[in-house]
Amino acid sequence: MSTFAIAPATAKRARLRQAEGVPSRPRSTSRAQRRLLRGLARRDPSVADAIQSEYGRVLLGYLRQMLDDAGAAEDVMQQVLLEAWQRGPSFDPERASVLTWLMTIARSRAIDVLRRRVPEPHDPAVATALLDRDAIEEDHATEVAERWQMTYLLSTLSSDHAELLRLRFQFGMSQTEIAEHTGIALGTVKTRMVSALEQLRGLIGETR
């Protein structure tokens, strides 16, 4: 089950919306994101810094997990920043969020690196096996990208909600333990848990 839509599906939905005459949903953007969008449109040299500041930790975290090599991840990160800067003027915020767009670029470059690590096969049977493996690898890259997108969205939640989710899903605390740890009534912990997950679901919807 895929929580996020990486660019191709997002673009398809946007095209469908346009074809059906359905207006795109407005995306909620922070001041920093609006500045970033202007920088992308103008191919402003400072846009790489803006991307680093807003999304750098998530992009690099994703690349590190995918490549399992900090040096390679840093190299690919530079490629992502360069590509984002080069393609910035053609970025359409109505078709995808900046985050989704950047994660799509990072995913593609990570897959490029992973495939270069495997020598070209000469045996047709090996080539077929590699094709299967490539498909698995792409699915895995998408799933990992979705989780890192979620990580960014977690950082935009209210601190109360983010902390609640951290205690449950990072530290594995039960709701009773969370109530004891935070001093919040158990019933409130439970209603906030649902509220936090629904807030996150809403943010995920905006990235599509």
Partner 1 sequence: MSRPSDERISDFLTGELAPAEREEMLEQMRQDPVLRERVGSLESIAANLELLPREAWETLGEQPRPAARTARRPSPRTPRRRMALVAAACALLLGAGIGIGVLIERPGSAGGPTVVLRAVAGPSSEQATARMTSGGRMVLTVDHLPATAPGRFYELWLMNSDSDLVSVASFRVGSDGKAQLNVPLPVSAARYHYLDISLQHAAAGPAHSGDSVLRAPVPS
Give me the residues that bind partner 1 (CB under 8 A), please: 1-3, 57-58, 61, 64-65, 68, 132, 135-136, 139-140, 143, 146-148, 150-151, 154-155, 162-163, 165-175, 177, 180-181, 187, 189-191, 193-195, 197-198, 200-201, 204
What DSSP character marks residue 93? T
The residue among 130 and 154 lying less far from partner 1, judged by its C-beta, is: 154
Contact 180, 171 (CB under 8 A): no
Task: Name the minimum Å distance from CB 183 to partner 1.
Answer: 13
Residue labelled with tokens 């053609």: 90
- Nearest in space to 77 (alpha carbons), one of 101, 107, 47: 107
Least separation in angstroms between residue 91's CB and partner 1 is 24
Smallest gap from residue 126 Cβ to partner 1 (A): 17
Nearer to partner 1, 88 or 100 (CB): 100
Q: Specify the residue, 36 or 145, whose C-beta has the smaller distance to partner 1.
A: 145
Question: Measured from the CB of residue 167, what is the shortest distance to partner 1 in angstroms?
Answer: 7
Report, in Å, the least distance between residue 41 CB and partner 1: 27
Minimum distance, C-beta of residue 104 to partner 1, in the bound complex (Å): 17
Nearer to partner 1, 3 or 108 (CB): 3
| Nearest to partner 1 of 88, 107 (CB atom) | 107
Q: What is the largest CA-CA distance in the chain?
A: 64
DSSP, res 26: P
What CA–CA distance (Å, rounded) separates 179 from 198? 20
Cα 153 to Cα 181: distance, rounded to the nearest angstrom? 24
> CA–CA separation, 104 vs 6, rounded Å?
6
Contacts 24+ apart (CB under 8 A), 56-61: 58/99, 58/148, 58/149, 58/151, 58/152, 59/102, 59/103, 59/106, 59/148, 61/148, 61/151
Residue placing its CB nearer to partner 1 in the complex, 11 or 157: 157
